Amino acid sequence: MVRWLPNQRWSLVILALILGNQLYCIGNAQTQSRIDSISPFGSVGSVDSFGSTTNTRSDQDLVPGWPYVFDSSGFHFYSLVPPKVLEQQIQGVLRLPEELNQELGIAFRGLDVHILVFDSRRSLDEYLHRYYPGLRAANSMYIRDQGPGLILTWFHADWLVDVRHEATHALLHAKRASIPLWIDEGLAEYFEYPSGSSSGDSFAIKSHPVHTKLIHTQLRFGQFANLEEQERWDPNKRLSNQQYRDAWGSVAFLLNHSDQSKNEFRFYVKDLLENRASGNLSYRLQQTIPDWRTAYTRYYREHSVASSIR
């Protein structure tokens, strides 16, 4: 066994720190050079903390430097990840418009959604730092502006879930309509898992691997999603985890509670997307669901029992 003298030990520590810093700089430089080689998504403009910008752009803005560029069904992918790696998961993205159409009765034609796929969180962060300073980094994000929808993401274990969530935002906002925050996020949470994938059975679209359990816990404490309160949510504030839960809970309840509740919700969303005066959904539901709390609570309690039986 070799014994190091105190001065020798400190020398080794300093050497390790120097080598570690050099390796980091080399890795960072490689990432930086790769980001420098790909083009920004159009000219860079001002971006607020919620991803809205005033940029305009064209498809030609995106092509230079991206090693993999491919299109399908109105979705345009610009990727640092080879298509063979993404192939199976991309099908889950391409099915999304039809799934929304089946549930909401709304056709999405003339799609123009651009998805940038980075191969690491670091490369995404570098891209944001360079071209969208001020944006808060996340695994995936949707940026609204005057051009087509733009989704920034990096390839990770939950890539498909995250991209479907953001793509739902892109599809809804392609209609250029003002959508209440609870519906916007509730639908994105509802469709982020492909139909039949969240719990392995044909009822999967009615459940969520996180929110369903949290709602059942919530009910045990006599709490529930208050629709009128959700309608007052500030669209300029980020939602808490509890608010995401409630947004999903209200949307899932309305789409699955009864044919009447589903139709009311579908008509309301259609009115929103077609920019017709819509008021608050809670007012429309007074005849269909006169006691929201009782109906909501009963639905999730019965759903919990049915899930345990299956």
Query: Is residue 151 a contact partner of residue 141, using CB atoms and an 8 Å limit?
Result: yes
Higher pLDDT, 305 or 68: 68
What are 160-195's pLDDT values in tens digits? 999 999 999 999 998 888 899 999 999 999 999 987
Q: How confident is the model at residue 36 (pLDDT cuts 50, 70, 90)?
A: low
Instruction: Report the DSSP pairing between strands 75-79 and 113-118.
Output: parallel
- Whether the pTM exceeds 0.85: the reply is no
Give CA separation, 54 vs 36, 126, 132, 144, 149, in Å: 23, 21, 12, 8, 12
Kindly give, in sequence order, each residue whose CB lies less than 8 Å from that of residue 154, ignoring residues fewer than 6 positions away: 117, 118, 119, 120, 121, 123, 124, 139, 140
Q: How confident is the model at residue 48 (pLDDT cuts 50, 70, 90)?
A: very low
Q: Which CATH number fits domain 59-176: 3.40.30.160, 3.40.50.11890, 3.40.50.300, 3.30.920.30?
A: 3.40.30.160
Please give the pLDDT value at position 197.
Answer: 52
Higher pLDDT, 197 or 23: 197
What are 53-104's pLDDT values in tens digits? 334 344 444 455 899 999 999 999 999 999 999 998 999 999 999 999 999 9
What are 20-29's pLDDT values in tens digits? 444 344 344 4
Query: Is residue 117 a contact partner of residue 152, using CB atoms and an 8 Å limit?
Result: no
Domain ranges of the chain: 59-176, 204-309
**Reading across the β-sheet that carries 140-143, which strands appear in turn?**
68-72, 75-79, 113-118, 149-154, 140-143
DSSP-derived secondary structure letter, 225: -
> What torsion do the CA atoms of 25, 31, 34, 36 make, to the nearest 10 degrees?
-70
What are 248-299's pLDDT values in tens digits? 999 999 999 999 999 999 999 999 999 887 889 999 999 999 999 999 999 9
